[in-house]
Amino acid sequence: MGLIPEEKLLRTILKLQAEDKGYPIKQDPPICPRCLIKVDIYDPSVKVQFRDIEIGGKVFTVAEPYCPMCFTKIKSDVQINN
């Protein structure tokens, strides 16, 4: 099953934001709390839900993946850059 264009675009934007040191937030790599494996949110085979969060009056999109091993939804952790 391939990604729809919108999902592919969102994943690309999130990857670029993670690499941009000047971007206001950075999403930490998700780690499954049950399996303790790091999940690659840029891998097209990983199921991901996108969620908007508001920080300081601005809305940002974060990815919340499902663990490919146990299918647990992993909450996103973000760091705020100053």
As a whole-number percent, the residues of the chain with pLDDT over 70 amount to 96
Q: What is the pLDDT of residue 17?
A: 79
Per-residue pLDDT of 39-70, as tens digits, reads: 998 888 999 999 998 988 888 888 999 999 99
pLDDT at residue 1 above 60? no
DSSP letters for 25-80: EEEPPPB-TTT--B--TT-TTS-EEEEEEEETTEEEEEEEEB-TTT--B----EEE
Q: What is the pLDDT of residue 39?
A: 94
Note the pTM of the prediction, 2 decimals: 0.77
Q: What is the pLDDT of residue 82?
A: 65
Mean residue pLDDT of the chain comes to 87
pLDDT at residue 26 above 90? no
